[in-house]
Amino acid sequence: MSDISANSRPLSGLPPALKAPPGATDCHIHLYPPGYVAQPGGPSIPELATVEDYRKLQQWLQLDRVVVTQPNAYQQNNAALLESLGQLGAETARGVAVVTPHTPRSELEGLHASGVRGARIMNFPGGAVTSTEMPFIEPLIREMEWHMMVQFNGRQLCEHLEALRGLKVDYIIDHIGKFIDPVSADDNRVDEILRLLDRGNAWFKICAGYETSLIGGPDYPDVGAIARRVVEHAPDRVIWGSNWPHVGVPRDQYPNDAEQLDVLLEWASPPVQQKILVDNPARLYGFSSP
């Protein structure tokens, strides 16, 4: 039995205005199943978020596929992630795990067999592995044909540019670049993101605009201006994630999950929504055609 409270977040509500196409993929969630506790160095777990809970959210938003990201709470222990992927099933779920420079090949092979296709790089407090370790991790995951999911404060992009340009594997610039605070869409750092995307191995994830927007929802126009510019420039390199269960903000700032999907109505045309929700994630994560 877990002493962590059961989920109390809403798992249903008014349907999103955007009708998700078949094969729509949520490329960023976290799961907190019972029986697993936070590890030293990571944040606490406020309440559970189980596969059963998420399936209800999937039904609400009419999403078919999902990518589960290793939470900071579990640090380098991927056991909860693997259990969750086992419950979700390989046909519709993939994972992003924590990999260190010392992760043995046998462990990587086990992660791959469970559906893991990426390594998480987190440059905020509580992150288990940061960008300083990317050069040592890249050779390990290159053999597995995985990508890196990289999160940092976009205002500090210049500090990461050299390392990102040096990557040979695919990588995701996470959380709309996570500019704290948002910059204008014509900022030189947004220019640099477009140049990275043009190199052919960078991806951009629309996710969690509520974490950085100073204006707020439902459209997050300050963050949305950045997203729209990237989507217009590189529609074949953009994916979307809900960031459920939104543990990065206090409960009184909890976003509406349907609105997190509906931002795509403002930020992308219907043909590009199909790319962002279905085609691009299928290419990056190896999902079959819906």
Catalytic residue check, 243: yes
How many Å apart are CA 213 and CA 220, to the nearest integer? 6
Cα distance between residue 81 and residue 248, in whole Å: 18
Rounded Cα distance between 92 and 235, Å, is 23
Q: How far apart are CA 101 and CA 140, in angstroms?
A: 8
Under DSSP, the state recorded for 129 is S
Side-chain half-sphere exposure of 106, counting CA atoms within 13 A: 0
CA distance 53 to 112: 25
Task: Please enumerate in sequence order all residues whose Cβ is within 8 A of that of 124, keeping only pairs 6 or more positions apart, or say none.
Answer: 151, 152, 153
* Count of helices and strands (H, E) across the chain: 10, 8
How far apart are alpha carbons 209 and 8 in whole angstroms?
22
Which residues face 151 on adjacent strands? 122
Q: Which of 78, 243, 256, 280 is catalytic?
A: 243
From residue 56, give the alpha-carbon distance in Å to each of 53, 155, 208, 265.
5, 36, 20, 23
Q: By C-alpha distance, which of 112, 84, 118, 115 is closest to 98?
A: 118
Helices (H), 35-187: 51-61, 79-88, 105-113, 134-142, 161-165
- Positions annotated as catalytic residues are 243
